[in-house]
């Protein structure tokens, strides 16, 4: 079940909201827990027990870490907990990738294991790890009620595609959160905005990307259309999901942290990663980079720490070489910026630093979407016409005319322009009148697209 589906929008969500607000406060967490397991069962009936086992082991290890805090045994229990959590993630997500590469390297014929990737395992595993580490550090109180811990881990708004909600962020809200009509209305508003980003922009541009990758002919114009569309698709797909998750959180009284902050207005790659998938980059900073020593160590170790983080970031996104290359690509660029390029980017006109960032990011998503190295190189070199690639083709002109308007809308929507206008006092009265009407119209249009369309994937479900 995905948020942009008729089943979720018109059956699951209304019923869950109705039951949630009917029951007394002491049963609200239980309603969310049951609803979350039903939600996950629709997408992964086979792996509900896996998630339940992960929750149970996290609960037990958390209690043991707390029981033996300030002793050497606390660290032992934490290490065992990490082995279990990371071990499950590695087994289900990376085993076949490891086998494939062993076979290629040593020319063996080890059989692949017959296992599918559980949806959302990367997200809920990281949430459980952050909980256990925070309990060990004394930054979070151990949760003694297993049902409340289970509700935190399985909470359906952020269960299968994030953002990565840390236990410390909603620790107090698990026990005591407020419900107001204003918060609920803001949640509905945010959800519809996210749904519109996903259905009306990401899905439409995704069709162009799929067509490009399937075609045998290309041109410089077509390659640029693909590169720009891929950038916009993944941004509106994932930020749209994050918006919907944050909106749903508000409907149920939770305040999730922002996951995106207009990354395409960044003036450097360093700035880009302060704005893109904030919950993931901050997670790696706090639970990997800083424990390794961060930048408070020798230069060699500091550079090593950066590359470890970005190797893991690439691997986190998927068990394939394009993701590893993608992560290392960003790691190398960030090192270059930190060593010398960053200070020059601050001095040159912003238009040039902005163009540099966008081109680097566009190439990164071409790598991200590539199925193999040859395809990646072809798509990148086509941008500058290498390899007998024509400048313009009839096919590229057709797609340019067909998708020009949606690309322009996507570019504008990826900037804070609309937000700046809406915050202007001059237009407040007009916006207050038009916004509810616009949201209803957008929801109706989205529903029409969902009913008629078949292209409705969430890119981050595979992570």
Residue with tokens 């082991």: 57
Question: Which sign, positive or negative, has the C-alpha torsion 268, 272, 275, 278?
Answer: negative
Q: Find the farthest-apart pair of alpha carbons in the chain and give their distance in angstroms, rounded.
A: 71
Under DSSP, the state recorded for 111 is: P
- Catalytic residue positions? 317
44 Ramachandran zone, left/alpha/beta (phi>0; psi -120 to 50): beta
The residues with which 390 forms a beta bridge, in sequence order, are 219
With the C-alpha atoms ordered 57, 58, 64, 67, is the resulting torsion angle positive or negative?
negative
Q: Do 92 and 118 meet the contact criterion of CB atoms below 8 Å apart?
A: yes
Q: How far apart are CA 134 and CA 435, in angstroms?
A: 41
CA 7 from centroid of its chain's CA atoms: 23
Reduced DSSP (H G I as helix, E B as strand, rest coil) percent helix, strand, coil of the chain, to 5 = 75, 0, 25
Helix 181-196, helix 428-452: angle, nearest 10: 50
Q: Check whether the bond before 163 is cis (ω within 30° of 0).
A: yes
Contact predicate 234/143, CB 8 Å: no
Would you state the structure tokens that stand for residue 184, as one six-digit string?
């609920």
């Amino acid at each position: 079940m995905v948020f942009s589906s008729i089943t979720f929008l018109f059956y699951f969500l209304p019923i869950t909201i109705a039951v949630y607000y009917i029951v007394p406060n002491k049963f609200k967490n239980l309603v969310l827990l049951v609803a979350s397991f039903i939600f996950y069962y629709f997408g992964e009936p086979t792996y509900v027990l896996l998630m339940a086992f992960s929750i149970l082991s996290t609960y037990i290890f958390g209690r043991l870490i707390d029981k033996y805090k300030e002793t050497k045994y606390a660290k032992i229990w934490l290490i065992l907990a990490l082995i279990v959590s990371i071990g499950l993630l590695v087994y289900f997500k990376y085993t076949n990738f490891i086998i494939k590469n062993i076979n290629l390297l040593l020319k063996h014929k080890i059989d692949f294991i017959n296992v599918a990737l559980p949806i959302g395992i990367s997200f809920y595993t990281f949430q459980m790890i952050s909980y256990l580490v925070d309990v060990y550090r004394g930054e979070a109180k151990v949760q003694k009620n297993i049902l409340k811990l289970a509700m935190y881990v399985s909470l359906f708004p952020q269960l299968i595609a994030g953002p990565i909600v840390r236990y410390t962020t909603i620790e107090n809200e698990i026990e005591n959160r407020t419900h107001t009509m204003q918060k609920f209305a803001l949640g509905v508003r945010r959800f519809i905005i996210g749904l519109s980003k996903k259905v009306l922009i990401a899905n439409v541009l995704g069709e162009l990307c799929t067509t490009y990758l399937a075609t045998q002919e290309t041109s410089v114009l077509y390659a640029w259309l693909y590169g720009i569309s891929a950038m916009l698709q993944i941004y509106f797909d994932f930020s749209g999901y994050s918006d919907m998750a944050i909106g749903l959180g508000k409907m149920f009284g939770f305040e999730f942290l922002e996951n995106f902050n207009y990354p395409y207005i960044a003036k450097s790659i360093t700035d880009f990663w302060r704005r893109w998938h904030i919950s993931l980059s901050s997670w790696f900073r706090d639970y990997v980079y800083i424990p390794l020593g961060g930048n408070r160590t020798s230069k060699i170790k500091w550079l090593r720490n950066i590359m470890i983080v970005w190797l893991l970031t690439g691997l986190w996104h998927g068990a394939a070489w394009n993701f590893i290359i993608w992560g290392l690509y960003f790691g190398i660029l960030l090192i270059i910026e930190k060593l010398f390029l960053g200070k020059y980017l601050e001095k040159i006109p912003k238009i040039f630093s902005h163009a540099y960032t966008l081109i680097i990011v566009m190439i990164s998503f071409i790598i991200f979407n590539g199925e193999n190295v040859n395809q990646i190189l072809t798509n990148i070199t086509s941008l500058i016409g290498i390899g007998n690639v024509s400048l313009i083709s009839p096919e590229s002109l057709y797609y340019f005319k067909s998708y020009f308007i949606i690309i322009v809308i996507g570019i504008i929507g990826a900037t804070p322009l609309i937000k700046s206008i809406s915050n202007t006092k001059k237009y407040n009265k007009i916006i207050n009148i038009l916004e509810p009407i616009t949201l209803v119209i957008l929801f109706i249009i989205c529903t029409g697209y969902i009913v008629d369309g078949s292209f409705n994937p969430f890119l981050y479900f595979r992570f």
